[in-house]
Amino acid sequence: MEGIGWLLWIVIGIVAGFISEKIMRSNQGLLMNLIMGLLGAVIGGFLFINVLHLDLGSPWLNALVFATLGAVILLFVTRLFKRRA
Protein backbone atom coordinates (compact mmCIF):
# COMPACT_ATOMS: atom_id res chain seq x y z
CA MET A 1 0.00 0.00 0.00
CA GLU A 2 1.27 3.42 -0.84
CA GLY A 3 1.73 5.99 1.88
CA ILE A 4 2.66 3.59 4.67
CA GLY A 5 6.34 3.27 5.52
CA TRP A 6 8.14 0.17 6.70
CA LEU A 7 8.30 1.37 10.33
CA LEU A 8 4.56 1.86 10.37
CA TRP A 9 4.10 -1.63 8.90
CA ILE A 10 5.99 -3.02 11.89
CA VAL A 11 3.71 -1.15 14.29
CA ILE A 12 0.61 -2.27 12.39
CA GLY A 13 1.99 -5.82 12.38
CA ILE A 14 2.42 -5.83 16.15
CA VAL A 15 -1.06 -4.41 16.71
CA ALA A 16 -2.64 -6.80 14.21
CA GLY A 17 -0.80 -9.75 15.77
CA PHE A 18 -1.94 -8.68 19.25
CA ILE A 19 -5.57 -8.32 18.14
CA SER A 20 -5.51 -11.67 16.36
CA GLU A 21 -3.96 -13.24 19.46
CA LYS A 22 -6.90 -12.01 21.55
CA ILE A 23 -9.49 -13.07 18.95
CA MET A 24 -8.04 -16.58 18.69
CA ARG A 25 -7.36 -16.83 22.45
CA SER A 26 -3.73 -17.60 21.85
CA ASN A 27 -0.76 -16.78 24.07
CA GLN A 28 2.20 -15.53 22.04
CA GLY A 29 4.97 -13.11 22.72
CA LEU A 30 5.72 -9.76 21.13
CA LEU A 31 7.99 -11.27 18.47
CA MET A 32 5.38 -13.83 17.40
CA ASN A 33 2.73 -11.09 17.35
CA LEU A 34 4.97 -9.12 15.00
CA ILE A 35 5.63 -12.12 12.75
CA MET A 36 1.95 -13.14 12.66
CA GLY A 37 0.87 -9.56 12.02
CA LEU A 38 3.34 -9.03 9.17
CA LEU A 39 2.57 -12.38 7.56
CA GLY A 40 -1.10 -11.66 8.15
CA ALA A 41 -0.69 -8.36 6.32
CA VAL A 42 0.70 -10.20 3.30
CA ILE A 43 -2.07 -12.81 3.40
CA GLY A 44 -4.83 -10.31 4.12
CA GLY A 45 -3.57 -7.81 1.57
CA PHE A 46 -3.43 -10.41 -1.14
CA LEU A 47 -6.76 -12.01 -0.29
CA PHE A 48 -8.89 -8.96 0.48
CA ILE A 49 -7.34 -6.36 -1.84
CA ASN A 50 -6.06 -8.33 -4.83
CA VAL A 51 -8.55 -11.20 -4.96
CA LEU A 52 -11.74 -9.74 -3.46
CA HIS A 53 -11.02 -6.08 -4.39
CA LEU A 54 -12.19 -4.74 -1.02
CA ASP A 55 -11.38 -1.21 0.08
CA LEU A 56 -12.41 0.31 3.40
CA GLY A 57 -11.54 3.83 2.25
CA SER A 58 -8.48 4.50 4.38
CA PRO A 59 -5.02 2.97 3.85
CA TRP A 60 -4.57 2.84 7.64
CA LEU A 61 -7.86 1.07 8.18
CA ASN A 62 -7.22 -1.30 5.27
CA ALA A 63 -3.80 -2.18 6.65
CA LEU A 64 -4.97 -2.82 10.21
CA VAL A 65 -8.18 -4.71 9.39
CA PHE A 66 -6.74 -6.84 6.59
CA ALA A 67 -3.54 -7.60 8.52
CA THR A 68 -5.60 -8.65 11.54
CA LEU A 69 -7.89 -10.85 9.45
CA GLY A 70 -4.88 -12.35 7.68
CA ALA A 71 -3.22 -13.09 11.03
CA VAL A 72 -6.41 -14.74 12.30
CA ILE A 73 -6.49 -16.92 9.18
CA LEU A 74 -2.82 -17.77 9.68
CA LEU A 75 -3.35 -18.70 13.35
CA PHE A 76 -6.32 -20.86 12.39
CA VAL A 77 -4.34 -22.72 9.74
CA THR A 78 -1.33 -23.25 12.03
CA ARG A 79 -3.64 -24.69 14.68
CA LEU A 80 -5.04 -27.14 12.14
CA PHE A 81 -1.54 -28.38 11.33
CA LYS A 82 -0.53 -28.59 14.99
CA ARG A 83 -3.52 -30.82 15.78
CA ARG A 84 -2.66 -33.21 12.97
CA ALA A 85 0.99 -33.50 13.95
Q: Where are the alpha helices (DSSP H) in the chain?
A: 6-23, 30-44, 59-84
Helix (H, G, I), strand (E, B) or coil at 25: coil
Question: How crowded is residue 81: how many other Cβ atoms within 10 Å of its Cβ?
Answer: 8
pLDDT tens, residue by residue, 9-65: 778 888 988 899 899 888 878 888 888 888 888 888 888 888 888 888 888 888 899
pTM for the model stands at 0.81
